[in-house]
Structure 1
Amino acid sequence: MADELVHYDVTGGVARITLDSPHNRNALSAQLRAELRDGLSRAAEDEAVRVVVLDHTGPVFCSGMDLKEAGGAAAGAQGVNEFPAILEQIWTSPTPVVARLAGPARAGGVGIVAAADIAVAAESATFAFTEVRIGVVPAVISVTVLPRLLPRAAHELFLTGETFDARRAVAIGLINSAVPADDLDAEVDRYTDMLALGGPKALAATKQMLRRAPAESMSADFSEMLRLSAGFFASAEGQEGITAFAQKRKANWVP
C-alpha cells in the first residue's frame, strides 16, 4: 500500500490538511489529488471543525501538476479534469480555509493559494505562473486567481511566467500576509484564532455572500441583503451572539 501523501488531523477546532510529498515538491499527483479531496470533504462534514489550514512538509508548498504523470495526453487531461473539483471544494468550503506557505507555489499550487480565504506566506516564498513556459495555458487556475489579482499584474505575470516574491504577492492581492519565516506559525494562528470567533453558520453565509453574482440593481441587492441580515439576526446563532456580547462572555461556538 502506498504511503499517505496528505495528512489530516484536528486540534482545537482547526483541521490541518498537510501535503506530504516532498520528493516531487508536493506536486498534484493522482494520489495526492484524491487524498486532498478526501481531507477537504472530511473537514466540511465535521461540525467540530471551525477552520481549515492547508499546510505542507518540505521546502515547497505545491509545484502544480505532476508533470511526470502528465507526460501523455490522456494522463495530463485526467489531472486537469480533476483539478477544478479541488479548487471548488476550497473556494466553496463552508468553513474558512487558510493556506500556510513556508515555501514556493507554482502553477496549480498558486490556484490552491488563491482559492483559500486567507493565505499567509513566509517572506522567502515565491510564486510563478509557469504554464506558458511549457506551452500550456493557466486556464483552470484563472478561475480562482483572477478574482484576487490586480488586472495589470495578472496580464504581466500570466504572460511572462516571471517569478515574484511574497511581498509582491501581497501587493497584487494574491496573499494576505508575508512575514519572516520564524513568525509564520504565529501569523497563521492569529488568523485561525480570529476566524474561530465567528459563528459557523454566519461564516458560511458570509462566504456565499462574498462570491454571489451582482444583482440586477442596487435596489434588488439591498432587498436580498436585508433578507439575509434579518434572517441571521433572528436565528438561534445570531441571538446567542448578541446575548454573549451583552453578557461579556464568549459565544457558545467559540472553542
Structure 2
Amino acid sequence: MLVGLETRGGVATLTLDSPANRNALSTRLLAELQDALATAIGDDATRVLVLTGTGPVFCSGADLKEQAPSGAPVTGAFPDVLRAIWESPKPVVCRLNGTARAGGLGLVAACDFAIAPDTATFAFSEVRLGVVPAMIAVTVLRRLDPRAAAEYFLTGEVFDAARAVEIGLLTRAVPPGDLDPAVAHYTGMLLKGGPESLAITKQLVRTVPALPVEEGLRRMADLSAERFTSPEGQEGIRAFMEKRPASWIPPRDPS
C-alpha cells in the first residue's frame, strides 16, 4: 500500500507512504489516494481529514520515471484527487511532514489548511523541466498572491516556509517539534463545528466574494434564516444554552 488510512476520534489521517521516491505522484499512489479520499469522505464517523506523508518529503510531484518511457504525462487520477480534496464537505488539513515540490503543491493548495515545519522548502519546478504547472494552477492560483504566483511559477526558485505563509500557500509554519500539536489544534477546533455548517461555510469562503453586494446580502439573509431554524442549528443553540457539548462532537478517545 502506498497510501495509509487511519481513523480515530472523528479524524481520518491519509498518509502518502512511498518515501523511496519521495512520495511521488505515481499512477498507483494517485489511485490509492483517490480511493482513500472516497472512503474517508463517505464515512459518517469521519469529521475531519488530515493529509500527510512519510519520510523527509511530503510530495516531490509527478513520478518522472513513470512518465519517461512514453514521453506523455501520466496524470492518472490527479484531477479527481484535487477535485475530491477541494470539494470535500469535510475540512481537509494538510500536515506537511517536509518539503514539497511541483505537483505536491497542488495537493497543499487544495486543502483547507496547510501546516508545515519551518524547515521545509518549496518550489514550482516545472518550467525548469520544460513543462508547465498546469493542473496544480487550478488550486494554487486560488491561494497565492498574484505577484508571488508569477514570481515562483516563472522562475522555479526555491522558497522557504516563512515565505510560503506570507504568499498564502501555507496556513502556518512551526518548529518541527510543534507540528503535531499545531495540527491537533486545528482538528480539535474543526470537530466542534456542525458538519453541515462546516460544509456550507467552506463554500461561502469561496463563492460569496464573487457575488454582487445586493445579491450576496439577499442570498445570505435567506441562508442565515434557514440555518438558524435547521435541526443542526437548533441543536447547537440548545447545547450552548445548556452548557453542554453539541451532539455532533465525537467522544474523547480514551487512548
Q: Specify the alignment match of 1:181 in structure 2.
A: 176
Q: Specify the alignment match of 1:54 in structure 2.
A: 51
Residue ranges of structure 1 left out of the alignment (5+ in a row): none
Residue ranges of structure 2 left out of the alignment (5+ in a row): 251-255
User: For residues 94 and 209 of structure 2, what CA distance do their matches in structure 1 show?
Assistant: 27
- Look up the equivalent residue of 1:60 and give its one-letter code: V
2:61 corresponds to which of 51, 60, 64: 64
User: For residues 219 and 239 of structure 2, what CA distance do their matches in structure 1 show?
Assistant: 27
* Partners of 1:69 and 1:75 within 8 A in 2: no
Deviation at 1:217, TM superposition (A): 2.5
2:106 corresponds to which of 103, 111, 118: 111
Residue 27 of structure 1 aligns to a residue whose secondary structure is: coil
Deviation at 1:209, TM superposition (A): 1.7
User: For residues 66 and 102 of structure 2, what CA distance do their matches in structure 1 show?
Assistant: 16
Residue 68 of structure 1 aligns to a residue whose secondary structure is: helix
User: For residues 161 and 34 of structure 1, what CA distance do their matches in structure 2 show?
Assistant: 28
Residue 244 of structure 2 aligns to a residue whose secondary structure is: coil
Q: Specify the alignment match of 1:28 in structure 2.
A: 25
Confirm whether residue 226 of structure 1 aligns to residue 221 of structure 2: yes
1:12 corresponds to which of 9, 21, 25: 9
Q: CA RMSD in A?
A: 1.3
**Structure 1 residue ranges (4+ consecutive) displaced by more than 3 angstroms after TM superposition:** 72-75, 213-216
Sequence identity percentage: 59
Deviation at 1:211, TM superposition (A): 2.2
Aligned CA distance change for structure 1 residues 72 and 209 (closer, same or farther; 3 Å): farther
1:41 corresponds to which of 33, 38, 58: 38
Confirm whether residue 160 of structure 1 aligns to residue 160 of structure 2: no
User: For residues 98 and 116 of structure 2, what CA distance do their matches in structure 1 show?
Assistant: 7
Aligned CA distance change for structure 1 residues 104 and 241 (closer, same or farther; 3 Å): same
User: For residues 16 and 8 of structure 2, what CA distance do their matches in structure 1 show?
Assistant: 17
User: For residues 139 and 95 of structure 1, what CA distance do their matches in structure 2 show?
Assistant: 26
Aligned CA distance change for structure 1 residues 66 and 108 (closer, same or farther; 3 Å): same
* Partners of 2:31 and 2:77 within 8 A in 1: no
- Look up the equivalent residue of 2:108 and give its one-letter code: V
* Partners of 1:153 and 1:172 within 8 A in 2: yes
User: For residues 77 and 6 of structure 2, what CA distance do their matches in structure 1 show?
Assistant: 24
Deviation at 1:90, TM superposition (A): 0.4
